[in-house]
């Protein structure tokens, strides 16, 4: 029975990761954007007729809808469970891609990709992480969250080259139809494997199973309601930090193919794919590291490194003969640090406010991701269209990240500190008995 439960936890984690592997198509937007831009410039029958300054709008709207739909999706996950929530996500994402496969209109893409796909991603994403974390002890919260959300970041590794192949051989419209049908089938099948642990389940390795009743009570989740967390300064501090971390990363992710085009030509998709490797790796590494040294110190480290990378990006992208290798390395590192945010903030939510309202609570916090992505990607595209460079965007993002580095040290999680203290005491007691 114990082995079956352990295996079940691994299956749920794998299914959640797989769902995110499908839904991470969001990070391949720069490939689609390049095809739309080429169609605008080439013209002819069936061509796109958009304002170049609006190229990022479907992506920006998708980020915004994704973020705010997480509140509704989180409530759905909390009330009816992860399976139905994920199935709804698969239906919406599939429908969105089918819609954009039939039109070249700006409004059609904003509604199809921006609204339907954005909402679908929210339902799928919100259903993947909570059930997986419930099967494992608090000491592995960051690690499990990192593994599950790594799928979302890793998606571009296969979607970017596949998109390039489909765009070349089939054209943009047929490629979107293929993705719509494929994502619906994959997400729907994997949704059947998402299940919460049975009532009363205590994960193996939970440090307080060996503690006295008084100590055990201190580890009972606070289970704060959405209304309660909105009245805490910690929530708004985390919201601001998420806005900064997400906005800076999404600004680059949405435009990396365009930045790589001048030095890598048709191989620009390689930069997108390797950025995804960094994106996924950052989630896993940050999750594991935060389990060891704490969420706040890990987040501060991530922000500081990301700020430095933003300023380094200015001379690298400004060079007339940019090194493709250097640009790919920069994109990978930026993706690594951006990805770390997606493992740390769900872990913050679980640690600080409990599991009972996790879906809605994380949905509220996740709105910062959407607002950050919308503001920074829209600002970046406008500045790039008017100046021809990303320099101003990099400077603004770097300054915000440096400010966020200091703010990250203000976060306190007494429960995590207590858990580490008791774990050390228990370990010392066991050594003393030997």
Q: How far is residue 352's CA from residue 235's CA, in Å, rounded to a whole number?
A: 9
Residue 311 has pLDDT above 60, yes or no: yes
Tally of CB atoms within 10 A around 272: 28
Q: What is the pLDDT of residue 259?
A: 61
Whole-Å CA distances, 260 to 133, 254, 320: 37, 12, 12
- 417 CB contacts (<8 Å, ≥6 apart)? 294
What's the pTM? 0.78
Structural tokens at position 382: 């406008």
**Strand ranges (E), 79-207:** none
Q: Is 403 exposed, middle or buried (0-12, 13-18, 19+ CB in 10 A)?
A: middle
Four-CA torsion 354, 357, 359, 363, nearest 10 degrees? -90
Tell me what pLDDT residue 6 has: 57
Cα 356 to Cα 86, 132, 359, distances in angstroms? 19, 15, 8
More confident residue, 299 or 5: 299
Between the two ends of the chain, the Cα-to-Cα distance in Å is 31
**Residue 419 binned pLDDT confidence (cut-offs 50, 70, 90):** low
> What's the number of CA atoms in the CB half-sphere (13 Å) around residue 377?
30
Tell me the pLDDT band of 323, cut-offs 50, 70 and 90.
low
Rounded CA-CA distance 20/158 in Å is 13
Domains and CATH numbers, the chain: 2-42+52-192+218-429 (1.20.1250.20)
| pLDDT per residue as tens digits for the range 100-121 | 999 999 999 999 999 999 999 9
User: Rounded to the nearest 5 degrees, what angle is found at the Cα of 241, between the Cα atoms of 237 and 247?
Assistant: 145
pLDDT tens column, 212-269: 444 444 445 568 889 999 999 999 999 999 999 988 887 776 565 556 556 566 666 6
């Amino acid at each position: 029975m114990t082995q079956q439960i352990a295996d079940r936890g691994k299956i749920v984690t794998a299914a959640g990761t797989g769902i995110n592997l499908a839904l991470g198509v969001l990070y391949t937007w720069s490939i689609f954007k390049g095809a739309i831009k080429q169609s605008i410039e080439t013209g002819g029958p069936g061509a796109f007729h958009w304002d170049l300054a609006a190229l990022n709008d479907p992506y920006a709207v998708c980020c915004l809808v994704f973020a705010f739909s997480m509140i509704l999706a989180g409530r759905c996950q909390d009330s009816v469970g992860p399976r139905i929530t994920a199935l709804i996500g698969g239906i919406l994402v599939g429908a969105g891609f089918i819609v954009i496969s039939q039109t070249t209109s700006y409004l059609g893409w904003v509604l199809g990709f921006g609204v339907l796909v954005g909402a679908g991603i929210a339902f799928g994403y919100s259903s993947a992480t909570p059930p997986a974390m419930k099967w494992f002890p608090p000491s592995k919260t960051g690690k499990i969250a990192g593994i599950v959300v790594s799928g979302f970041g890793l998606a571009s590794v296969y979607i970017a080259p596949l998109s390039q192949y489909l765009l070349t051989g089939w054209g943009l419209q047929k490629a979107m139809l293929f993705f719509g049908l494929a994502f619906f089938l994959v997400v729907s099948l994997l949704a059947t494997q998402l299940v919460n642990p049975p009532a009363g389940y205590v994960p193996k390795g939970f440090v307080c199973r060996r503690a006295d009743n008084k100590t055990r009570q201190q580890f009972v989740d606070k289970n704060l309601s959405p209304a309660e967390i909105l009245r805490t300064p910690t929530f708004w501090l985390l919201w601001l930090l998420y806005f900064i971390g997400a906005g800076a990363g999404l600004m680059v992710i949405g435009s990396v193919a365009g930045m790589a085009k001048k030095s890598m030509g048709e191989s620009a998709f390689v930069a997108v794919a390797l950025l995804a490797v960094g994106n996924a790796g950052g989630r896993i590494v940050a999750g594991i590291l935060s389990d060891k040294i704490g969420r706040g110190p890990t987040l501060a480290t991530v922000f500081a490194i990301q700020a430095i990378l933003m300023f380094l990006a200015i001379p690298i992208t400004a060079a007339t003969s940019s090194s493709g290798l250097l640009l790919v390395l920069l994109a990978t590192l930026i993706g690594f640090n951006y990805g770390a945010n997606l493992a740390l903030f769900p872990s913050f939510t679980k640690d600080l406010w409990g599991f009972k309202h996790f879906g809605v609570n994380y949905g509220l916090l996740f709105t910062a991701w959407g607002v950050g992505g919308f503001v920074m990607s829209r600002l970046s595209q406008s500045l790039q269209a008017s100046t021809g460079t990303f320099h101003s965007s990099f400077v603004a993002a770097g300054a915000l990240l440096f400010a966020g580095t200091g703010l990250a040290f203000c976060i306190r999680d007494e429960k995590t500190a207590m858990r580490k203290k008791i774990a050390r005491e228990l370990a010392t007691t066991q050594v003393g008995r030997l």
